[in-house]
Structure 1
């Protein structure tokens, strides 16, 4: 119950953030731009709209997770409200989990709004309703779930700027983890191979959630891969939250 209370308070505070409104507005404009490109994409309107829509959710969702996620704990500490909160009969893990769930609810709200807007633009542009798009959006949300956990993890011991930079860096490298393994296979050095495999298992493998190309071009996806990616996202998020709790427990306030 305490976790739910913290989550709802976080949701109410974050949903009023001006940065959030700005990002949502830009995302809506970006998705709507596919209508402007219609004369230039004769016969490809469906693919272009789906591609721009999925890219918008992924990109602007990332910005929300980073810009709001990295400030969640920092603002509590700066305003010294953290002292009032931890003095109450509230465990630190409950506070941290509530913060995470609250931000995740904000991201979910934004994703739903953008999804409805994508389908509206799709209908106005192509008069079609592609259900498979929801699968791509779901896996984008899974990725954002991991990114939010990453930003929260670094915010437990770092400043918002540093947390944001590291999260962005991990986002981009997380999409290159498979390339790291390919690079390791091409080298003859055993040390490079070992280091590459260590990096591969430590870094978040965000390419597991990147099925945008398959969705846009209607390429069939294996059920085993989808289940693996789902399990990976949940387990990696739990792992990051556990690390966040451990670090947060040791901090002196």
Structure 2
């Protein structure tokens, strides 16, 4: 082979290597050239709200996969059974019992979800070590907790809305048509949801530094004591010892006053 041929072959090899290097760099930068089009593959930088929304959406999907919303089936069965067994009562009595039973079941199921799902939101991420992969990305701790909280609140919103619709349909059935009570129960349903949001926040708070069992116990304690805030205030005024007065007063001011949302017994 002549010297000129060797030079030409070397130049050709150099051009091919340069083209290959450029193509690899182009693809590594996040582009794909399939079908004659260029598609950007890199992750677009997002703001805090977008990251929180993403975590909330994933939390909601995980709750659906864990069959959290299956309690709606049991709720519908309770309402249906109640409507059947209360058929011999008057329409007014039956409607009142349906409302009381529906709102009570709504709160019961909601608290169950808030506590036992809420206390595992952070713990499961730590146990599966997925939290390290999340924090390796530009996600702050506040964004992570806010996303988890909003995701479970979204799950509860769907839960409460479907249950509220079930109570409304049951009222339409027992009244034999339209009744103002069908709309009048929704403010009470909204208060139930606000109370559940508070319980979720408490459960998430305890789950960030304690085990799921202890977190569930503490959250249930706050839920129960929160419905007796008036009694705590009375005890703080009636206890003779200074230490007891301080303890009851501190509990009264620190714990949420959930009795403000107890319109079920009103």
| Equivalent pair of 1:151/1:167 in contact (CA under 8 Å) | yes
| Alignment of 1:30 onto 2:82 | no
The residue aligned with 2:248 is 196
The superposition leaves residues 166-221 of structure 1 with CA deviations (integer Å, 9 ceiling, x where unpaired) of 1111111111121122233344444433332111001121101111233xxxxxxx
The residue aligned with 2:235 is 183
| Equivalent pair of 2:69/2:159 in contact (CA under 8 Å) | no
Runs of 4 or more consecutive aligned structure 1 residues displaced over 6 Å after TM superposition? none
SS of 1:39's partner is coil
| Alignment of 1:159 onto 2:217 | no
SS of 2:87's partner is helix
Instruction: Work out which of the residue numbers 117, 122, 125 in structure 2 matches 1:68.
Output: 117
Which gives a bigger RCO, structure 1 or 2 (Cα 8 Å, sep 6+)?
1
Gaps of 5+ in 2: 1-49
| Alignment of 1:122 onto 2:171 | yes
2: CA distance, partners of 1:5 / 1:141:
23
1:109: how far off? 0.4
The superposition leaves residues 135-170 of structure 1 with CA deviations (integer Å, 9 ceiling, x where unpaired) of 101111110010000111111011211111111111
TM-score (normalised: structure 1): 0.79
Please identify the structure whose Cα radius of gyration is greater: 2
Instruction: Work out which of the residue numbers 198, 205, 213 in structure 2 matches 1:146.
Output: 198
TM-score (normalised: structure 2): 0.76
> Cα RMSD between the aligned structures?
1.6
The residue aligned with 1:16 is 65
2: CA distance, partners of 1:121 / 1:179:
36
Gaps of 5+ in 1: 215-253
The residue aligned with 2:41 is none
Give the total of aligned pairs.
213
Bigger CA drift: 121-130 or 55-64? 121-130
2: CA distance, partners of 1:68 / 1:192:
34
2: CA distance, partners of 1:29 / 1:181:
40
The residue aligned with 1:7 is 56
2: CA distance, partners of 1:150 / 1:138:
19
